[in-house]
Amino acid sequence: MSWTPSTKCVGLGQMLIVDASCLYEVVADGRAAESVRARLASDPDQAAPHVVDVEVLGVIRRHRLLGLLDGTAAAQAVADLREWPGERFGHRSLLDRAWELRDSVRTWDAMYVALAEVLRGTVLTLDARLGKVKGLDCEVEVVAR
């Protein structure tokens, strides 16, 4: 897979905070991969909390065990995940804000939202439910499947 590296500095301009649902689709060449790839290509300044790697790796593993990915596809997905050029940010500093969001956003999603708020970015997701949450201090863009 060929990734377009970021040429912007973190914190300057709009940053896409790519959630695990989008990143998995791209690395595993899922049904929504082309839509997500097109959106990522339009703004190469991308980031995620470090937990994105664990989340996506868990989905790759689960889909391999269920036979939804063969061994070759799963290995390639892991390699593509490792090569994704998005900036990974530690999540410890996001814990308090994620906790504040507990009544409206699932914990995993709250990490992406908290990072987007800090970086004044947009969360990119396939989760329509997250796209409907009111009162967030960031934009949430739901990619059409």
Per-residue pLDDT, 11: 39
What domains, with CATH codes, occur in the chain?
16-142 (3.40.50.1010)
- Give the tens place of pLDDT for each residue, 35-57: 999 999 999 899 999 999 999 99
Q: Is the pLDDT of residue 7 over 70?
A: no
Q: What's this model's pTM, rounded to 2 decimal places?
A: 0.88
- Give the tens place of pLDDT for each residue, 114-129: 999 999 999 999 999 9
Query: Distance between CA atoms of 85 and 8, rounded to whole angstroms?
Result: 12
